[in-house]
Homo-oligomer: A and B are copies of this chain.
């Protein structure tokens, strides 16, 4: 535990700056998914409006290697059947294909097709370009700090979240 700052947690007014930050994150998240940014990125990539399927494609793209259904589900933190359906939809559009898993005949590996990989690249380029533009006017120091601290924070928080879910107490 830390010195003063984390102790000033009265039920009424706990750490106003943190509360403000969390409130903003929540609003930004809502604005991103519900707003048009993600849809525009998908359309700019020629992927239409199927957001969950785009998520699968991006997961495969950032993984950089073929993944099994269960592995995609883990990375996206959703259950298996959901991925099954998205992969089927992507397969119909020739954006992914299934290849045998040499180690396990029950599973198959999913990989993007060339078209799928290119679409994922365009999607990510759009999205990262947009965020890059948002940060373009920032001092380089602040920009680097934010990206670095954010990565660390999400790692810490995700790890603690896993503890919470695992501990079930």
Chain A residues within CB distance 8 Å of chain B: 1-3, 5-6, 9-12, 14-15, 17-25, 27-32, 34-37, 40, 62, 75-78, 121-122, 124-125, 127-137, 140, 142-158, 160-162, 164-165
Contacts and interface: CB of A to CB of B under 8 A. Distances in A.
Where chain A touches its partner, the secondary structure class is helix
Given A11-B121, A125-B14, A36 B77 contact: no
Given A6-B135, A164-B36, A12 B147 contact: no
Given A22-B131, A125-B11, A147-B17, A161 B31 contact: yes
So how many copies of this chain end up in the complex? 2
B165 A128 contact: no
A110 B29 CA distance: 25
A122 B10 CA distance: 10
Given A11-B122, A135-B156, 16 more contacts: A2-B135, A2-B143, A5-B143, A5-B144, A14-B125, A14-B128, A15-B128, A19-B128, A21-B154, A24-B158, A27-B75, A34-B77, A35-B161, A37-B161, A134-B153, A145-B145
